């Protein structure tokens, strides 16, 4: 639809003469934002002569964006509202209560603030248990959209399923620039919002530039609202973000639509970028003087003054407000500069949840009280039914769906079909479509949605159909894993990602049979479980679903397709702590370490050597039971690591390096690794057999190490 005219008649302006918000507060927010930009632009790292301790090392201005954002912030008032924003969104945070001192301390890298010096100052967050929340931003473009959709779905779940009336009327708001509408996250979130009718507001501020790339390279014709005109279930508005009255009217209409649960809304406001993209950027290298001057002429601050004076403030009141803002910023700047710089002490804290009772809960996931109420035991039942791997996972999911109403299970084909491996078969019929449901085909959307749900206090259990299919979600997986650390424990996003992979029964291929678990062992903040049998799968999956950390739960295809790994069900409350290996057989001459489906081949090979082989099933590789392996090798003096991932940089290399460093003088032979060749997994069974370590090859390698 065409953008409305930038000019407004007096009558139209009078239509918003009595807004539900304060124009003085809007002006104050916009003025503070502009003053902060003034300070930072004068002290960024590209300015000569600025004392090192006063430098802002990473600087992004919101010039030209601040008025419309301040108006948007004035509409985000519900205690369960959440905004998911990006690096040019500081005006919104100021409108929602961000302290000016914190707004300055974070770009200066001082203690406190958004991250205690761990993240760049424009990557903001605002956790508030009883007020609107700003979800943790990220340094990448477009990743803010799908967590916002997850929060919106959580709003409906809390209200409609859990019956919590305090969520009535809440909404999720996502902010993005015109460049971000080309990203996967934008389209995935738009699909979720429109197909599910989510209470979600898309706020797009279009300044015509993605750094230097113009809008018509981001979206055909340069106007995303025209391209979305045929979208069903999407309420759209388009206008001039430098016109305060028009911005207020359009935003107000969209907010009213969303709060009434009529579905998602979308507003695009054109704004000028009256600054370079960032501190190091020089826009005069790619923009003409005329283009820059045209944007300067559209500065929304003078236009705001012209609108509110004298309608809502006198000229004297405006001048007094300017003086008040100047003093506020000066005082805050002095206080921010006086804060100490963070020290290296404690920099490793909060990669994972800190269980210490004096460490407060982060915002997100089940509360400590909720986790403690889910009593568990690490003692397995001895008389449970013998179950295959898939049935054990299904039974565990069902039990947690029963005892914890905040558990949701979802993914592609997870609902009606019951999953491509039928692991979730029957769960939707039993627990309903609100708790076990299908998603669109977007791994970015599955994981991003999970993050938003987790921030809203739910426990999402998402399925990625095969390990290889997780690659499009790499950005969201990274952001989820790092969020606790980079917000200094202000936010956390516990979830479980079920991920089948590895070779199948007599079949493989490069797409469905990838293992590559080392990638997640290297991913900050993630726990990684690779159970070899049904009992361990039950305990580890339940521990993950009742825990405070995000977990990759690896379901091996071979175990899903065969009876390998069948074991007795260890009980409805069996919980197996992460980082606890299992010594499957004791021996005195060599330690064999493995995990996942390869454990069964290693066990068959080890049985040929009687009590000479000590076989360890790691069960989890992040964290891994270093103490168990070191103690075993101290006894045997030899070690062979057998795994399915590639030899080069596989997790076996980490184990070997640890032994070389910590057990060197106890070794009677070099540490050996047995793993597939560094090539993709093959399809034909003869090629697959040539690739994967088999029983005979493992036995031969054990014999060779024993003879060394």
Q: Mind telling me the catalytic residues?
A: 512
- Contacts of residue 149, defined as CB under 8 A and 6 or more positions apart, other chains included, come to 172, 174, 188, 189, 192, 193, 198, 200, 445, 448, 449, 452
How many residues are listed for the chain in this entry?
708
CA angle 655, 510, 566 (to 5 degrees): 65
Strands 213-214 and 209-210: antiparallel
Compute the chain's Rg from CA coordinates. Answer: 28
Kind plus residue range of the DSSP H or E element containing 302: helix 300-308
Structure tokens at 469: 């299919």
| 648 phi and psi angles, rounded to 5 deg | -70, 120
Residue 591 phi/psi, 5-degree rounding, is: -100, 125
80 neighbors 167 (Cβ within 8 angstroms):
yes
Cα 455–chain centre separation: 9
Kindly state the tokens that stand for 281.
């950027």
Q: Which residues contact 414 (CB under 8 A, 6 or more apart)?
A: 424, 428, 436, 437, 438, 439, 463
Q: What is the largest CA-CA distance in the chain?
A: 95
Which residues partner with 461 through β-bridges? Answer: 409, 496
Separation CA 310–CA 612 (nearest Å) = 91
Spatial distance between the Cα atoms of 500 and 559, rounded to a whole number of angstroms: 10
For residue 492, give the nearest of 453, 544, 519 by alpha carbon.
Answer: 453
User: Cα(597)–Cα(476) distance, rounded to whole angstroms?
Assistant: 28
Own/partner contacts of 282-288, CB < 8 Å, gap of 24 or more, are: 283/212, 285/212, 286/212, 287/212
């Amino acid at each position: 639809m065409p953008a409305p005219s930038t000019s407004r008649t007096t009558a139209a302006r009078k239509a918003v003469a009595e807004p539900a918000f304060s124009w003085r507060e809007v002006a104050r927010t916009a003025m503070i934002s502009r003053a902060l930009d003034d300070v930072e632009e004068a002290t960024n790292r590209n300015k000569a002569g600025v004392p090192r301790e006063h430098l802002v090392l990473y600087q992004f201005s919101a010039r030209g964006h601040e008025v419309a954002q301040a108006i948007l912030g004035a509409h985000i008032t519900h205690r369960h509202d959440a905004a998911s924003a990006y690096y040019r969104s500081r005006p919104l945070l100021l409108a929602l209560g961000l302290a000016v001192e914190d707004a300055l301390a974070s770009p200066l890298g001082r203690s406190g603030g958004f991250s205690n010096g761990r993240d760049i100052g424009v990557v903001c967050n605002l956790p508030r248990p009883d007020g609107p929340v700003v979800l943790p931003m990220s340094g990448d473009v477009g990743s803010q959209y799908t967590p916002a959709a997850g929060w919106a779905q959580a709003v409906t779940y809390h209200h409609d399923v859990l019956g919590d009336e305090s969520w009535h009327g809440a909404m999720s708001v996502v902010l993005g620039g015109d460049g971000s509408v080309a990203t996967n996250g934008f389209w995935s979130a738009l699909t979720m919002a429109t197909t599910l009718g989510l209470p979600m507001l898309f706020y797009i501020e279009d300044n015509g530039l993605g750094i230097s790339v113009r809008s018509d390279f981001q979206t055909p014709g340069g106007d995303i609202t025209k391209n979305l005109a045929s979208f069903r279930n999407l309420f759209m508005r388009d206008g001039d973000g430098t016109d305060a009255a028009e911005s207020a009217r359009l935003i107000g209409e969209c907010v009213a639509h969303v709060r009434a649960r009529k579905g998602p809304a979308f507003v695009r406001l054109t704004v000028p970028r009256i600054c370079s993209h960032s501190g190091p950027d020089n826009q005069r290298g790619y923009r003409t003087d005329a283009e820059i001057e045209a944007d300067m002429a559209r500065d929304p601050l003078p236009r705001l003054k012209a609108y509110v004076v004298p309608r809502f403030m006198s000229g004297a009141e405006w001048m007094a407000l300017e003086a008040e803002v100047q003093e506020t910023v000066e005082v805050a700047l002095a206080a921010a500069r006086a804060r100490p710089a963070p020290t290296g002490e404690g920099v490793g804290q909060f990669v994972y949840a800190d269980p210490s009772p004096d460490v407060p809960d982060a915002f997100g996931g089940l509360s400590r009280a909720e986790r403690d109420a889910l009593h568990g035991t690490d003692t397995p039942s001895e008389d449970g039914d013998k179950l295959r791997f898939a049935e054990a996972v299904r039974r565990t999911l069902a039990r947690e769906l029963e005892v914890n109403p905040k558990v949701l299970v979802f993914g592609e084909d997870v609902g009606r079909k019951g999953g491509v491996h039928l692991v979730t078969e029957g769960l939707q019929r039993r627990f309903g479509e609100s708790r076990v449901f299908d998603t669109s085909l977007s791994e970015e959307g599955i994981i991003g949605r999970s993050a938003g749900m987790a921030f809203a206090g739910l426990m999402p259990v998402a399925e990625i159909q095969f390990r290889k299919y997780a690659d499009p979600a790499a950005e969201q997986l990274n952001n989820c894993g790092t969020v606790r650390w980079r917000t200094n424990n202000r936010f956390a996003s516990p979830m479980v990602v079920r991920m089948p992979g590895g070779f199948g029964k007599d079949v493989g291929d490069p797409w469905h049979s990838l293992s590559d678990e080392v990638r997640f062992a290297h991913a900050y903040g993630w726990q990684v479980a690779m159970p070899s049998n049904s009992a361990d799968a039950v305990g580890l999956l339940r521990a993950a679903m009742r825990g405070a950390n995000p977990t990759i739960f690896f379901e091996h295809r071979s175990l899903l397709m065969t009876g390998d790994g069948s074991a007795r069900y260890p009980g409805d409350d069996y919980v197996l702590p992460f980082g606890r290996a299992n010594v499957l057989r004791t021996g005195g001459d060599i330690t064999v370490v493995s995990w996942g489906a390869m454990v069964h081949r290693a066990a068959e090979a080890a049985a040929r050597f009687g009590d000479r082989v000590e076989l360890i099933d790691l069960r989890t590789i992040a964290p891994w039971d270093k103490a168990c392996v070191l103690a075993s090798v101290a006894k045997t003096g030899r070690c062979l690591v057998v795994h399915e991932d590639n030899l080069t940089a596989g997790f076996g290399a980490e184990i070997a390096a640890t032994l070389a460093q910590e057990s060197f003088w106890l070794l009677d032979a070099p540490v050996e690794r047995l793993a597939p060749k560094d090539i993709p997994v093959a399809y034909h069974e003869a090629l697959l057999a040539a690739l994967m370590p088999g029983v005979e090859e493992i036995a031969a390698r054990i014999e060779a190490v024993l003879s060394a």
